[in-house]
Amino acid sequence: MDNDLERGDRERVNGQSSSVAREVPDDALLREMDGLEVYTPPRHAEGIVGWTMFDTPTAQDDTVVALLPKDKIGKVPNRGLVRIESEGDGRTYLGIVQAGPFAEPDGLRGDAPLVVTVQVRSGQMLLPQFHGRIHIELMGQKSGKAVTPPRFRPLPSSPVFLLDAGETRELLRCEGDMALGLAVGHDDLKVGIPSGRKSVMPRHTGVLGTTGAGKSTTVSRMIQQAQKAGMAVILLDVEGEYTEMGRPADNPEMVELLAERGIAAKGVSDTALYHLVGTETTNLRHPNRREFSPPFSRLSPYMVCEILDLTDAQQTRYWQAYENCKALLRELGIYPQRVMGRVEESHERRLERLDEFAEGYPGMTLGALLDVVSAFLHTVERQEDSPRLYSTEFRDSADRVMRRVKQSKAESAVSWRALRARLFRLMRLNVFDSRKPGVHSIDYDELARPGAVSVIDLSDMEAADLRNLVIADIIRGVERAQEKAFDAAARSGAEVPRTLVVVEEAHEFLSVERVRRMPNLFQTVSRIAKRGRKRWLGLVFITQHPQHLPDELLGLLNNYVLHRINDANTIGRLRRSIGGIDAGLWERVTSLAPGQAVVSFTHLSRAMLVTVDPTQCRLRMAEE
């Protein structure tokens, strides 16, 4: 009954037009076609998935269209790699499926009214015969083993072959021991980062994408893999998201994804959690938690002036106080230390190498500097008595301090007072030179130890400038320790140590606005980035606001993981500063699913679309 109805429908449709696919060619035509010599590609007939088509007036230089028989449509994935054996001239081209596979009816346009009518009226029954169409972006022309930019185009009707996994891997060069994920468009094609290659991680990395796009998951995966590869990792955790990395992933969604991929949930071993003295951490129960306090003497006076946002007049006073404080420390035998009239040699040598763009005067505490400023203010205000001094260095030597300060010409009580107020505010944070029991300065050799993962929780620091000062200081400390260890290993012929420094919320650390206001801070980072290339220190910057990153910073990065970015302007700007990602991939960036990313690394022959592996370790959800 039903069948009869359908047959009736079909006949009606056929009656209306003779051009519906299956029934189109009449018997005579079919017989004629059978008689024709069918085109058979002479070589490699096996493995052919389609043939290139003629170019149309809208054809573009780098792309070529190929048609696929119906049964091959399901075999040619988007982003799949293909080889085209140009028929007639013997040239071989390599390409990537940039769009498609599309299905279109034979001999008709897919949106022809007839096709539409048939489709809605009869569903599957009267589906015209169809074929596939793919748009191939030409990646290059093969000459021997090398691949060169294409100078010609494949001729029409050239056979198209899908590359197998081995060929694909060889062409994309996407292997590496640090597993990152799976390539989209390939069956089980793993994408990794080679941890041993100096030309990759030490060329610095940006992980960019909107909130919730998968950055932290990617970063935690990367860190765990880096540790496995024997690197030291230091993570500047601005939101306190990574403080529980030592525990296995327990978010049900991640656990399920891990199970699907056959990856075990596992915490990162050997983590240490650092937080600044007097600030909270998001994981108080971490088994290896360390409260730290940086010595004020580590900070470059130039950087301090920037952070304190001093006016020119205040800066002049700052330097006057700083120079006099130095002289007093020497005079009193505090630094260089003088024991029974003898000056400590090693201190003198250290002072000879002192680079005040990078560090302050050894042994100078914030309290001592503040005392000198107070003494100046006292003199300028022409007060008779001696001021009260508080630092351990100077409190018993007020007369010496006053004598010295009086020799130095000083004026303007207003700016001395303002300077004192600013230093006093910094002092009140109780961050520098802390004497609290159990609190130490960071041991940078320990941070740079191979296999150590150090999470620095900065989530409870409200003063952004101060936090940046701490971040800059830690990066610099790590760089020194890394250089020392690297040079020692290089001298002795041992395996060189490798270190990664990961900076979350990098836009807060190095925004365009901040870099303009604090040129010294950026110069420090830039110098470290350049030295890091030679001494195996890789920087990784993460941000959900890439539009705030200055071009100078993007200029330092050579590897990118681009998660979803919604804003077209931001993408436009990134496109101008990041090379090597083709237009088709840029278009994908706005619509990536969480965990998907466009990955462009120096070891890859071209940027790839990657489904990043789920993370094995636990991440804390950042507060919304």
Q: Which is nearer to ligand ADP, 171 or 174 (CB)?
A: 174
Name the closest residue to ligand ADP (Cβ).
595
Which phi-psi region, left, alpha or beta, contains residue 529 (left: φ > 0; alpha: ψ -120 to 50)? alpha
Q: Which is nearer to ligand ADP, 379 or 615 (CB)?
A: 615
Alpha-carbon distance of 504 to 484, in angstroms, equals 26
Q: Which is nearer to ligand ADP, 87 or 504 (CB)?
A: 504
H/E run at residue 289: strand 289-292
Amino acid at 5: L
Question: One symbol per residue from 536 to 575: x for binding ligand ADP (CB under 6 A), - otherwise; what is it?
Answer: ---------------------------x------------
* 294 within 8 A of 455, measured Cβ to Cβ: no
Asked if 520 is part of the footprint of Mg ion (rule: CB under 5 A), the reply reads: no
CA neighbor of 387 nearest in space, from 215, 262, 379: 379
Tell me the window of 43-51, 163-171, 214-222, 457-465 that interacts with ligand ADP (CB under 6 A). Answer: 214-222
Asked if 8 is part of the footprint of ligand ADP (rule: CB under 6 A), the reply reads: no
Amino acid at 166: G
Asked if 216 is part of the footprint of Mg ion (rule: CB under 5 A), the reply reads: yes
Query: Which of Mg ion, ligand ADP, none does residue 513 bind to, with CB < 5 to 8 Å depending on kind?
Result: none
Asked if 615 is part of the footprint of Mg ion (rule: CB under 5 A), the reply reads: no
Tell me the window of 11-19, 212-220, 424-432, 570-578 that interacts with ligand ADP (CB under 6 A). Answer: 212-220
Query: Which of ligand ADP, Mg ion, none does residue 213 bind to, with CB < 5 to 8 Å depending on kind?
Result: ligand ADP
Q: Which is nearer to ligand ADP, 72 or 548 (CB)?
A: 548
**Residue 152 token pair:** 């010609």
Tell me the window of 183-191, 206-214, 411-419, 478-486 that interacts with ligand ADP (CB under 6 A). Answer: 206-214
Alpha-carbon distance of 203 to 602, in angstroms, equals 8
Q: Residues of 287-317 as b/e, b for ≥16 C-beta within 10 angstroms?
A: eebbbbbbbbbbbbbbbbbbbbebeeebbeb
Query: Which of Mg ion, ligand ADP, none does residue 391 bind to, with CB < 5 to 8 Å depending on kind?
Result: none
Query: Which of ligand ADP, Mg ion, none does residue 253 bind to, with CB < 5 to 8 Å depending on kind?
Result: ligand ADP
Q: Which residues between 293 and 332 bind ligand ADP (CB under 6 A)? A: none
Alpha-carbon distance of 366 to 344, in angstroms, equals 23
CA neighbor of 391 nearest in space, from 331, 433, 333: 433
* 153 within 8 A of 55, measured Cβ to Cβ: yes
Q: How many binding residues for ligand ADP (CB under 6 A)? A: 15
**Residue 380 token pair:** 């300028």
Tell me the window of 101-109, 114-122, 213-221, 292-300 that interacts with ligand ADP (CB under 6 A). Answer: 213-221
Asked if 590 is part of the footprint of ligand ADP (rule: CB under 6 A), the reply reads: no
Q: Which is nearer to Mg ion, 240 or 387 (CB)?
A: 240
The four Cα atoms 387, 389, 395, 396 give a dihedral, to 10 degrees, of 10
Query: Which of Mg ion, ligand ADP, none does residue 143 bind to, with CB < 5 to 8 Å depending on kind?
Result: none
The residue from 17, 60, 143, 211 that contacts ligand ADP (CB under 6 A) is 211
The residue from 74, 88, 123, 212 that contacts ligand ADP (CB under 6 A) is 212
Query: Which of ligand ADP, Mg ion, none does residue 381 bind to, with CB < 5 to 8 Å depending on kind?
Result: none
Asked if 220 is part of the footprint of Mg ion (rule: CB under 5 A), the reply reads: no
β-bridge partners, 63: 137
Asked if 594 is part of the footprint of ligand ADP (rule: CB under 6 A), the reply reads: yes
Minimum Å gap between C-beta 611 and ligand ADP is 7
The residue from 447, 595, 604, 610 that contacts ligand ADP (CB under 6 A) is 595
Minimum Å gap between C-beta 574 and ligand ADP is 16
**Residue 155 token pair:** 């001729």
CA 76 from chain centre, in angstroms, equals 31
β-bridge partners, 271: 453
Minimum Å gap between C-beta 237 and ligand ADP is 12
Q: Which is nearer to ligand ADP, 490 or 593 (CB)?
A: 593
Alpha-carbon distance of 536 to 196, in angstroms, equals 10
CA neighbor of 83 nearest in space, from 56, 54, 43: 43
C-alpha dihedral sign at 149, 155, 160, 166: negative
Q: Which is nearer to ligand ADP, 217 or 271 (CB)?
A: 217
β-bridge partners, 559: 205
Q: Which is nearer to ligand ADP, 282 or 320 (CB)?
A: 282
Q: Which residues between 444 and 473 bind ligand ADP (CB under 6 A)? A: none
* 576 within 8 A of 549, measured Cβ to Cβ: no
Q: Which is nearer to ligand ADP, 596 or 600 (CB)?
A: 596
Query: Which of ligand ADP, Mg ion, none does residue 212 bind to, with CB < 5 to 8 Å depending on kind?
Result: ligand ADP
Minimum Å gap between C-beta 547 and ligand ADP is 16
| Main-chain dihedrals φ then ψ at residue 275, nearest 5 degrees | -140, 150
Q: Which residues between 230 and 269 bind ligand ADP (CB under 6 A)? A: 253, 257
Minimum Å gap between C-beta 254 and ligand ADP is 7
Asked if 195 is part of the footprint of Mg ion (rule: CB under 5 A), the reply reads: no
CA neighbor of 581 nearest in space, from 77, 163, 206: 206
Sheet containing strand 289-292, strands side by side? 190-193, 178-183, 608-612, 596-600, 559-562, 205-208, 537-543, 499-503, 232-237, 453-457, 271-276, 289-292
Asked if 243 is part of the footprint of Mg ion (rule: CB under 5 A), the reply reads: no
Minimum Å gap between C-beta 612 and ligand ADP is 4
Q: Which is nearer to ligand ADP, 101 or 595 (CB)?
A: 595
Burial of 119 (0-12, 13-18, 19+ CB in 10 A): middle
The residue from 100, 192, 209, 301 that contacts ligand ADP (CB under 6 A) is 209
Give whole-number Cα distances, 350 to 301, 321, 355, in Å. 17, 22, 10
Interacting residue ranges for Mg ion, rule: CB under 5 A? 215-216
Interacting residue ranges for ligand ADP, rule: CB under 6 A? 209, 211-217, 253, 257, 563, 594-595, 612, 614
